[in-house]
Amino acid sequence: MPEIHATAIVSPEASIHHTVQIGPFCIIGPDVTIGANTKLHSNVIIKGNASIGEDCEMFNGVMVGERGQILGAKDSEQPVVIGNRTQLREYVSVHG
């Protein structure tokens, strides 16, 4: 069973490995996959079609999977894939 903080919101449709740690005030959407031994610190948001690899660490305020803000771009979400052993430091945004 993943270690999920009481204040985190995790969709029951998300696929989360049993060794994952999810910190306070995180939000995990329904189309998210999180691999083994990944740790999410506080206030991490993962939405959209996003896949997080194994042994990753995401620090406070990271946002993954939200649509980018590019003028003239088509309004379509693309999948986001974060590879194994990746660290995303504080307040990084990765858009799909």
pLDDT at 95 exceeding the cut of 70: yes
Contacts of 13 (CB under 8 A, 6+ apart): 30, 31
According to the CATH classification, is domain 1-68+77-86 in 2.160.10.10? yes
Q: What is the pLDDT of residues 12-31, one digit of tens each?
A: 999 999 999 999 999 999 99
* For the chain, domain boundaries: 1-68+77-86
pLDDT of the residue at 20: 99
Q: pTM of the prediction? A: 0.91
Tell me the CB-side half-sphere exposure of residue 7, using CA atoms within 13 A. 9
Q: What is the pLDDT of residues 30-77, one digit of tens each?
A: 999 999 999 999 999 999 899 999 999 999 999 998 776 666 666 666
Confidence of residue 1 (pLDDT cuts 50, 70, 90): confident
